[in-house]
Each structure stands twice: as C-alpha cells, then as structure tokens.
Structure 1
C-alpha cells in the first residue's frame, strides 16, 4: 500500500518512477478515492515514461477533513485543485466523473496553465443516470434526505459492483466510500448537482478553455453524451475527443493501458 500524505488540504498517495519527468494529479468521482486509479498507478508504461502519479483525495473524500468554511461549490473544489496543482507543480490533471466536472470549471477559470484530461463528466443534469437524478430530487426534501442517504450507504456495494469485478478491489472501493460521513457526502453530491443545474450547457463552458483538453468516454459509458455535445466540443481546437474501447464509466479501471497511452501522448505533445 502506498503511504498517504497531506498536501494543500488533500490526502494523497504517490507512485514515483525511478526517473520522474512529469507529474500527474488524479481526481476521483463522487464517493471515490485514490483507489479507483490503482490499475493506472500500477501501469508499467507510465512508470517507464517517467510519470509521477499523485492519487488525490480532495477535501471531504476518504474521510479527509474539510475547512470549516467550505461551501461544497464546484468552484470551491476548482480552487482547491488549482492550489494543490501549484503546490505539487503538476503538468497534467486527470479527473474522473465528478472530478472531470471540477476540471471543466478549472478550464473555465483559466488559472491552471497545464493540461487537462477529463474522463466521463456530465455536461448537463440530463446526462446523469436515472438513479442519480432521483437521489438529487429526494435529497432536496428535508423529510426524505436522511432516509435517502441511509439507503444510499446501504447500497454502495451494489452501486460499485458493475465496475469492480474483483472482490478485493470492490471491498477497497466500498471501504473508502464509507469513510465519507453521510452528511458530507450529501453536501458534495448536492453541490455537484447544483452546478449541473446552474450550467445546463457545460460543453459550451468547456470550449472556452485556453489549455489542451483530452475528453475521454468509455464505449460502454452510461453517462449521456449527445451529438450536440460532440459538435460543440469540436468547435475548440484545444479539445480532443476519445472513445476508450472495452470500457464503462470507469475507463481507467476497465482499460488502463489505453488511458495510460493517452496520458503519455498528451504529456509529450
């Protein structure tokens, strides 16, 4: 197990190659942790390419403490990403799902000058799954919120089962998810959906980027992506779209070799 350390309010783990040339920060999705990147962090091609991987757990994730005044806005998470990216002098930031949505805001804010890789963000509320939209709806009901999150925590294992076939991997993902207090998980979740509601055209927001962006989706991804999304993203010469073969929503877990190849390609471009 890699040793954890604190950096800029994050809980991180490192995979440092013998001859490091690049630094890449990895940001998980909702209820995730650095563990969801374990296959990527053990990829030999990245090690040979000199890629120092930093598996990040943002404030509130994996039991990591939150600042007293933290408001759970996506813009606040974007500012936190910018802070750790500066502290760690990273060349590329990779975000998955929620983490990828945070990177849309990082791109929009134009403070980070490195490269961005997004794995399956949601570009609007409708892109999310039926279960996630239902959880959003009932989490806004004061009488039902507590019940909904108790049910959610009771079903975490079944939620991750389609994506993690190995029993030990599944147990690790579930363990880390349950380190997040239910109240904090609910606030992170609602802050995320508030962002999707506030910005229903995140494809338009992303193409304002001034830094290179690789946008990845698994070919079996269950997050919606429309022809309009595709056409909008192609308007920017800085945004490149990739479909990861034989991959679900967790493309970096299903096909780490292809994601690693794209990381190396992007770092060297």
Structure 2
C-alpha cells in the first residue's frame, strides 16, 4: 500500500464489502490507508462443521489423488477437525494465494496455487492436466465453486466432497444501507464471490439496485465476475488481479485515479 501515490485520490470515497460477517478487517484497513471508509453488507456468515460426518468426509477427501481447498475458510474449518500437515498424502491445490498461505501456516508443504486466482485458473494448472480416473478431493462448503467439480467430472475425475463449513444467510442490513446512503462517493463495490453478489443483489430494493447501477464502480476479481456484474446492469467495472484485500484495493486505486472515477 505504501507504494501507491494517493495525491490524486478523492478525499472521500466508500468501499462496499460483501465479505462474510466478521471478515472485513483486512479490507477495511486497506481502504482506510487510501482515505476510504468501508460499509459492510455481508450476505452471510460462516459456520464451521464439527460433527463426526464432516470429519469422516474430510478424511476420505484427503486420501484422494489430488485435493482442492476452495478458500481460507475451508482450510481453517478443516484444520479444526484434523491436523492437516500429518494428513497430506498427495498434492494439495488452492484457488488462490490466500488459501495457499493458510495451508502453509498449518505446516502443509506441498501446495499448488494458480497465477490466475479463480476457478478457471485452478483448472488450467498442469497438475490437473489429465485427471481421467483420478479421485479428486474437494474441501469446501455447500454451494459455490460449482464450476470446479463440474469441469473435473467432465474430464473423467471422480469427486470426493468434504463440506467442512457452511454459509448461513443474513438479511441485508437496512442500517448499513442507510449508512451507505450517507457515505461519500465514489462508491466501489468489491466483488470476489459470484454467490455473494447474487444473494446481495436479490435482497436489494429496486431503487437501491438502480442507485448502484448509476453510481457504483464494480471491482471484480475475475472476468466471470465482471460478466456477472454487467448482467446486473453495473456498467463501470475495474478488473482486480485477484480476490485478496490487497489486490482489490489496488484495483480501487486504479478506479479512483483513472477514467472510471470521473
């Protein structure tokens, strides 16, 4: 963040975060470093699964030829069930560097992460080049990342799924919408999850959808998310290099200092 010149950034701007409840701190601090405030409109909170069935599913998944962890939350939930470093028997893969760092922090040494941090980037990795007849473990939550399982199955793999946490839907906070209405523009909507965007958008009153279509700049973590944002009528879109808080804030810097901010 210190490498970003901020003399051309508007003196007031607002980041709209769709991160899960309680996971806003890194994004909020990064936005504050560029003079922005954050309004959190979380569509869900995350709950780890601690039951015997979840532990058994995880143990089966971790014996697969390849294992994919879809998020840092999946790593944290799995680590609360069994010691991960001792369980590794094959290459473990992640969708992005944040998830890879989480595995490394738990002592897992053999971790593969794509340069392009999305489902498409993961599927293009050489370690998944020919998966016919392979067993692929997927450590995740119900819903989300459906492209990974579908594409791997289409390529001939068998999927062993371990749902180690779940997303509990939240009602959109009217209080936070009122705070957003009072917050300075430009408004930057950080989008790193298509499912989160969909649930957020479905709960918005029509006049709020129109207000965001007219005023918000969407910061999207992938081309697929950009297309989804466009389909919702969000026309000002800036592509982030990935879903991490630093990558999203770098995209915010671009949005605030470039033509999209005008």
Q: With structure 1 as the length reference, what TM-score do the two structures score?
A: 0.34
Query: Could you say which structure has the higher helix fraction?
Result: 1
Q: With structure 2 as the length reference, what TM-score do the two structures score?
A: 0.35
Q: Which has the larger radius of gyration?
A: 2
